Structure 1
Amino acid sequence: MPRRPPLAEIDSTRSLDIPTEGAPTKKTSTKRRRTKRIALITLLVLALLAGGGLLGTGLYLRSVEGSIERVEAFSDVPEESRPQKVAEDAENLLILGSDSRDPENTSGSRSDTIILAHLSKGRTSAQMISIPRDTWVHVPATKDGQRGNRDAKINAAFAWGGFPLMVQTVESFTGVRIDHLVIIDFAGFQEIVDALGGIDIEVDQNFTSIHEPYRKFTTGQHHMDGATALDYARQRKQFADGDFARIRHQQQVIKAILDKATSGGLLTNPAKLNSFLKATANAVSVDKTLNIFDTATNLRHLRSENLTFITSPTKGTGRVGSESVVFPDKEKAKVFYDAVRRDAGAEILSNAK
């Protein structure tokens, strides 16, 4: 039987290819750089590996660490404008995402999905707080002073000033200091879901996709492959609450992926594990200060049942001039994000209702 190459020999500048038993390591082509990546799923799966007792897990994680694309997120954020850290042992990750292959996505310049992930002290729970992309907030000025410094939809911050202005805008809106940035591409869910063998989703109402091949979704539980799950997570125009429905569906897909990934079968199937990690770790992009090994190790006990999905408090939709926007409930948001800032778990959940 051929010798399995030590994981330390894996070329960390190339796509991660974890060898299965009896199969040599493949040399894979240099990864295609993408600006929108999958991140949270990979972190949690690597956390699963850290707690799963695999031989050489540390080398797996350190190999992944070396292959991850880094982005500059904080250097242009004025320190004097940033909130103070209150709960030192808790951590807040800003997750930005888009769907680069969405038929409706005519420009990649805005972030379609904004999630503030609050990881509690001890990493025993996490709150995934979705901020609607059309939330009407004050966007600070860009570093050169040429754009911003006015009220706008929150996702305009990314179009005007990239990651740093997005961080500054979210911190200004929430009062919560962001520790790290991760980026997620919902289009990449298709490969991830297929690598898992599909996921189970509870559909809450009948509707037909507006995209070819115009799938019909019916109420009840369905086993979805990657293309179907991605189509499901894209839909919004058929629902009375529009983008709020899409947020719920994206949250369902994230939870279903985590449920499937942590069900146990992944670790005992080398080929499936290899395929899954290639579909995720290859696509990760994070800020320059995030330590993947330490984060994954700290998250090793976190499972989907410990995740709570929340939408930032709003007063609903309306119009500002010609724009359709989401108005934040500033009073509720202040109380809610204060609880997040203090890592007051029970208060966070209570104030989210």
Structure 2
Amino acid sequence: DADLRSRLANNVMWYDDRIYNILLVGVDYGDEEAVMFKGAYLPRSDSMILISINSVNNVINMVSLSRAAYVAIPGHGNKRLNTAHAYGGSTMLVDTVESNYKIRIDKYITVDISGFEQIVNAIGGVTVELTAEEASAVLGTNSAGTYDLNGAQAVAYSRLRSIDTDRKRTGRQRAVLNAIANKLKRSSVSTMIGLLDEVLPLVTTNFSKAELLAQVAKTTKYFSMSINEDIIPHVPHPLSTRDGKEVLILDWDEEDKYIHDLLYPGIVPQSAKTSVVQSTKK
């Protein structure tokens, strides 16, 4: 815990303006452990995936952040990473990720499970390859294969954890995001702009509509990039217990090196105090 306090006090983070980091956050407003914050109950985050767009190496890193990671939440002590959202919403979660993982988050997009279901339905569903166990749990069939999932089925698949581990669960979440990307690759820019009008009311984001339209205009370039999937911590860790909760105790020196090698390969990123970086975000 002392190491985390020291890490939080060290407000230097790394960034490179040619690398654009978007944090995708999934929440469930039915969360039984939601916390009252400024008159509203805020849920914990169910999934956190960093989309890091590297225009230097033409690669998109899709990196899950383990929700059980034991981190320092500014002003709220040391807890599981997914708890941060309950203490201040997406802004607190972003602050927590930046303070612990020492990477700049340029933008965030947060959606709850009902909104995500509607988004998947809006694009006409997604095509995902399921194992026999996954198919049994999601569709009630024991046959492995490639299936077209509607919104409700995609949510059930993304949240499935009873058959294996939380790390495997994050892989399913990334599989759905890849399936959404594959579906959008076949769409015209005008179609995606139309979808944007449907999606915006379903999410919370610090993107303006103009900024999102600018991102849509870049999709041809993005779709030409290779996609690399990963999870932090990269190596599985045994669960420990803190305050009655199962947590992952990370070796932050090891994770720092891995994160920098992953996000900034062959690049020497800049560093700045948190307050300076916040003021220069796109």
CA contact (8 A) 2:14 2:102 kept: no
CA contact (8 A) 2:27 2:43 kept: no
Q: Cα RMSD over matched residues? A: 3.2
Aligned equivalent of 2:110: 183
Deviation at residue 340 of structure 1 after TM alignment: 4.8
CA contact (8 A) 2:117 2:152 kept: yes
CA contact (8 A) 2:184 2:192 kept: no
Once the two structures are superposed, what CA deviation does each residue of 1:99-135 show, in whole Å capped at 9, x if it has no partner? Answer: 446xxx3345211111222111258321111101111
- Structure number with higher helix proportion: 2
Instruction: Describe how 1:11-90 pairs up with structure 2 within 5 A.
Output: 82-90=11-19
- Structure number with higher strand proportion: 2
Deviation at residue 247 of structure 1 after TM alignment: 1.0
CA contact (8 A) 1:98 1:186 kept: yes
Alpha-carbon separation, structure 1, partners of 2:194 and 2:17: 37
CA contact (8 A) 1:120 1:126 kept: yes
Deviation at residue 337 of structure 1 after TM alignment: 1.8
Q: Relative to 1, partners in 2 of residues 1:182 and 1:83: Cα closer, same or farther, differing over 3 Å?
A: farther
Aligned equivalent of 1:286: 205
Alpha-carbon separation, structure 2, partners of 1:216 and 1:81: 51
State TM-score, norm by structure 2: 0.74
CA contact (8 A) 1:176 1:340 kept: no
Aligned equivalent of 2:238: 317
Alpha-carbon separation, structure 1, partners of 2:143 and 2:12: 45
Aligned equivalent of 2:159: 234
Q: Relative to 1, partners in 2 of residues 1:217 and 1:199: Cα closer, same or farther, differing over 3 Å?
A: farther
- SS at the partner of 1:291? helix
Instruction: Describe how 1:1-353 pairs up with structure 2 within 5 A.
Output: 82-100=11-29, 105-106=31-32, 107=34, 108-121=42-55, 124-141=58-75, 148=76, 150-207=77-134, 208-209=136-137, 215-216=140-141, 218-239=143-164, 241=165, 243-263=166-186, 266-267=187-188, 276-287=195-206, 291-303=211-223, 306-313=226-233, 314-321=235-242, 322-340=244-262, 343-344=264-265
**1 or 2 for the larger relative contact order (CA 8 Å, sep ≥6)?**
1
CA contact (8 A) 1:96 1:115 kept: yes
Which consecutive unaligned segments of at least 5 residues does structure 2 have?
1-8, 35-41, 269-282
- Percent identity for Structure 1 against Structure 2: 23
State TM-score, norm by structure 1: 0.60
| Farther-moved stretch of structure 1 (198-207 vs 229-238) | 198-207
Q: Relative to 1, partners in 2 of residues 1:194 and 1:169: Cα closer, same or farther, differing over 3 Å?
A: closer
Please tell me the residue identity of whatever aligns with 2:237: G
CA contact (8 A) 1:317 1:324 kept: no
Which consecutive unaligned segments of at least 5 residues does structure 1 have?
1-79, 142-147, 348-353
Q: How many residues align?
A: 248
Q: Relative to 1, partners in 2 of residues 1:195 and 1:328: Cα closer, same or farther, differing over 3 Å?
A: same
